[in-house]
């Protein structure tokens, strides 16, 4: 799939930046691993939040995260394909990430 096709598959109206949950806290953003989730039908979802307070309320204050310019989403999708982009979705308490040894951003 070309970058143009990937871009066409994204919503047309998104904020300039999105906050993405990560699997763990890291000191260098280049080492961050975006926390993809599997849907009940087997599809892979990229969860994204339109503001930091929404990420905290939907994922918990201990959720590691990174901020990403929206225009980078097609490159992220090419590097690690995902099927659905879900915005501002609450994560059930039992499935939330908790900081290891007090690390939180």
Do 36 and 44 touch, CB atoms closer than 8 A? yes
The CB density around residue 27, as the number of other CB atoms within 10 Å, is: 7
pLDDT band at 29 (very low <50, low <70, confident <90, very high): confident
Express each pLDDT in 50-81 by its tens digit. 999 999 999 998 899 999 999 999 999 999 99
What does the domain layout of the chain look like in residue ranges? 17-93
CA-to-CA distance for 92 and 103, rounded, in angstroms?
21
């Amino acid at each position: 799939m070309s970058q143009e096709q990937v871009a066409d598959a994204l919503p047309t109206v998104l904020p300039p930046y999105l906050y993405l949950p990560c699997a763990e806290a890291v000191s260098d953003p280049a080492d961050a691993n975006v926390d993809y989730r599997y849907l009940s039908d087997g599809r892979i979802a990229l969860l994204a939040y339109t503001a930091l307070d929404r990420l905290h309320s939907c994922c918990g204050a201990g959720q590691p995260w990174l901020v990403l310019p929206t225009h980078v989403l097609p490159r992220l999708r090419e590097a690690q394909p995902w099927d659905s982009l879900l915005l501002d979705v609450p994560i059930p308490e039992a499935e939330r990430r908790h900081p290891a040894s007090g690390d939180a951003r």
